[in-house]
Amino acid sequence: MKTIADVSIKDKRVLVRVDFNVPLNDKQEVSEDSRIRAVLPTLKHLVEGGAKLIIMSHLGRPKGKPAPQFSLSPVAARLEELLEKPVRMLDDCIGESVKQAVEQMSGGDVILLENLRFYPGEEKNDPDFAARLAENCDIYVNDAFAVSHRAHASVEGVVKAAPVSVAGFLLKKEIDYFNNAVKTPKRPLVAIIGGAKVSSKLGAVENLLNRVDKLIIGGAMANTFLKSRGVDVGQSKVEEDLIETAGSIIRKAKEKGVEFLLPVDAVVADRIDPGADIRRVSINDTPSDMMILDIGPETSAMYARALNEAGTIVWNGPMGVFEIPAFSSGTMNILKDMANSGALTIIGGGDTDAAVHGSDDARKITYISTGGGAFLELMEGKTLPGVAALI
């Protein structure tokens, strides 16, 4: 997979797909800019190399039509501060106005196109829309790992229309880190899978059974595995239709010699609320009128021992309802133990990134991915459409 380091960029029109789907506050200002910062190495390389830089992204879910609250204008303002260079914000992403703006560019200039999802052709991967995006570039760059699992016009379709297509530094880094961690890991390789549903992580769990030495399960999805073992989990969320599948996964793990770790104690409550009746119980003593909302301290200690022995750790999905402090200890303990393990550590994006963002321990993690769904699909063993198009 070629990158921008492999092509000549001076005075070339370079169209870069990034993920600037960032949160905005009530004043329509960027409130968290890590996704913008993540692509700065690529953008600065292009600016400093004299490219005519044309940036495109989506923001929110405008459902195929213009919506002022989803304009990328606030992002342009923040990007200008971070790049320390003027960023011209356009009011469209295709058409004559864009063509004219690009024709006026000099090497080192920067343009940000308006929200791609203001057009239905983006998410439909419409070839005509993709061609209209590509008509203003000499080189297309994908540096949007977080959306590379989507076969959208700006991710996959544009590659068929652009003269040259390459990866940005962030995309290359994401793929390399994952491959090093899962395909050629320093062992033991330990994977931690959490979150709400077995159904959303089933493919990842089944694929990882062929690769890992130990598999740690947490979050609400652990309830389905526990119930498959005959554990009464009270009012906890369970995917009844997957109980048999969960039991089969546990048996497969044993057959493959994979250590499969489930909670042995839990933090339970009568409702998901800071003011709820909260207790710590053995996993076999979950009250029938309460629900499991976090792993308990004995489970955290057991998981810590597994992590301390690891050579490589990959984590996707929180251990509990981390948004409420009373149910966040399990997730934060996992983070702390990963940070102090001495292993190569990688965290998948989405909820996991949100749970650990800004903590001192998060700064000790080897790599925190920018992609939630994309990272999960890699864990499932899938090839991302946005990556496959570049190969």
Give the domain ranges of the chain. Answer: 4-172, 185-379
197, 237, 256, 364: which one is catalytic?
197
The H-assigned helical ranges of the chain are: 34-38, 40-48, 73-83, 96-103, 120-123, 127-134, 158-161, 169-178, 198-208, 221-228, 243-256, 297-308, 329-339, 351-356, 373-379, 385-388
- CA dist list (Å): 260 to 35, 41, 50, 257, 274: 34, 39, 52, 9, 31
Model confidence at 105, pLDDT cuts 50, 70, 90, reads very high
Least confident of 119-133, 250-264, 370-384: 370-384
CA–chain centroid gap for 111, Å, is 26
Pairing of strands 265-269, 278-282: antiparallel
Specify whether the CB–CB gap between 208 and 193 falls below 8 A. Answer: yes
317, 350, 371, 386: which one is catalytic?
350
Summarize the confidence of residues 1-7 as an average pLDDT: 95
SS3 state at 212: coil
Specify whether the CB–CB gap between 172 and 3 falls below 8 A. Answer: yes
pLDDT the model gives residue 114: 98
Q: Does domain 4-172 fall into CATH 3.40.50.1260?
A: yes
Model confidence at 333, pLDDT cuts 50, 70, 90, reads very high
12, 17, 35, 173: which one is catalytic?
35
* 373 belongs to the catalytic site: yes
* 197 belongs to the catalytic site: yes
60, 203, 311, 373: which one is catalytic?
373
Rounded-to-integer distance, Cα 380 and Cα 202, Å: 8
- CA dist list (Å): 347 to 265, 295, 375: 24, 19, 9
Architecture of domain 185-379: 3-Layer(aba) Sandwich (3.40)
Whether 4-172 and 185-379 share one fold: the answer is yes
This prediction has a pTM of 0.90
How do residues 52-71 score in pLDDT, each as one tens digit?
999 999 999 999 999 999 99
Summarize the confidence of residues 279-284 as an average pLDDT: 97
| pLDDT at 360 exceeding the cut of 90 | no
